[in-house]
Amino acid sequence: MRLLFVTSGLTRGGAEGFLARLAPRLASRGHVCAVASLGSGGPFAPVIADSGVAVTELGRGVASLPRLALLARSFRPDVVQGWMYRGNLAARVAARACRTRPVLVWSVRQGLLDLEASPAGTRWVVERNARGSVLPAAIVYNAHDAARQHEAAGFLAARTRVIPNGIDVAAFAAGEGTRARVRAELGMASDALVVALLARWHPVKNHRGFAQAAEIFARLRPEARFLLAGAGIGPDNATLTAWLEEAGIRDRCLVLGERADVADLLAASDVATLASHAEAFPNALLEAMAAGVPCVAPALGDIPELLGDTGVLVPAGDPEALAGGWERLAAMSGAERRSLGARARARVVERYGIDRAAEAYEALYAELRAP
């Protein structure tokens, strides 16, 4: 099949990262894939291009739409797959421009619990998606809980399909000596108990709640250190720095900014965590599990199904409970944590590998194209 993905952008995020895995994997299975991005300078653009999948960055604004229409008409897709809200709306333009009458599919990569706190532009584009949800042949969600939330917001339930994210598990297999090397490079003691929060700067990720939990945990565990990384998570983030100082843990924290070596950072960690107010199917946990790191996370979205019995679930918005979850893992021996992490990795291999996700998308496209 000829598959055209129309994405809101290719910045470093979970939705974009999954597309950067999915399109090349579908191409490796014999499909002809192309990606059109409503942005420019996205760090995942060269990653996708290097895999052999054509990438066109169209830029923002209405001027991108005529260029998208020309691209779609030239590519002649069998399927136009929207990716995220703005990408979904633009995918309709691409599909209508084609003489080949491609199947239109949308993709939603998040939940809606934080919608009221989102910018007005985000609320507007979600509403436009809801109104137009009769147009695609299917709307693919990455989590059952996210699908329910969107259906309650007016998205047509008859179009719902759920395909969980997939990951290249092999990319998160740490080589021998990686943990010691990365800790030495970061200046972390070999016996430190490292809790990692790999999440972009956004209110829904609740970095303040993380800092409050870290303050509690640091009193229990003097050996605790905290590793923070993600877009907007740098030493120049004055608000984050103030929260860490207020919690009295600034000197225990490594604040690393946006990083491409996530697998290495996870290899150096003992516990991976989220403190979010809302989540659907977070790639950060999927990656940590693939790296064999046990996780503590709020019981939001499809996180309970993702973790199963390989991690610790806590109530959302409760710093004491979050710190208590870390303590449950800290109280284990290193061998016990490694065993739990191995079970987490095995769960990802069994359920959430990238080939499993690619097969599900293939099956969906074939079904929708059937006469």
Cβ neighbours of residue 140 closer than 8 Å, sequence gap 6 or more: 105, 106, 107, 108, 161, 162, 163, 361, 364
H or E element at residue 4: strand 2-7
Mean pLDDT of the chain, nearest integer: 95
Does the structure show a pLDDT above 90 at 113? no
Structure tokens at 27: 């191409």
Q: Indicate the pairing of strand 295-298 with strand 271-273.
A: parallel
Residue 102 near residue 27, CB atoms below 8 Å? no
Across residues 207-236, what is the average pLDDT?
A: 96
Q: Which of 20, 23, 79 is nearest to 44 (CA)?
A: 20
Q: Which of 185, 195, 143 is nearest to 165 (CA)?
A: 143
Residue 12's pLDDT is 81
Q: How confident is the model at residue 131 (pLDDT cuts 50, 70, 90)?
A: very high
d(CA 140, CA 182): 38
User: Is a pLDDT exceeding 90 seen at residue 175?
Assistant: no
Give the model's pLDDT for residue 20: 95
Whether the per-residue pLDDT at 346 is higher than 90: the answer is yes
Domains of the chain, by residue range, sit at: 2-166+353-369, 170-351
Domain range 170-351, its CATH number among 3.40.50.300, 3.10.450.50, 3.30.2320.50, 3.40.50.2000: 3.40.50.2000
Quick one: fold of 2-166+353-369? Rossmann fold (3.40.50)
Do 170-351 and 2-166+353-369 have the same topology in CATH?
A: yes
Question: pLDDT of 286-313, one tens digit each?
Answer: 999 999 999 999 999 899 999 999 999 9
- Say which residue the tokens 């600034």 belong to: 250
| Residue range 7-42, pLDDT digits in tens | 999 988 889 999 999 999 999 999 999 999 999 999
Q: Please compute Rg for the chain using Cα positions.
A: 21
pLDDT mean over 103-121: 86
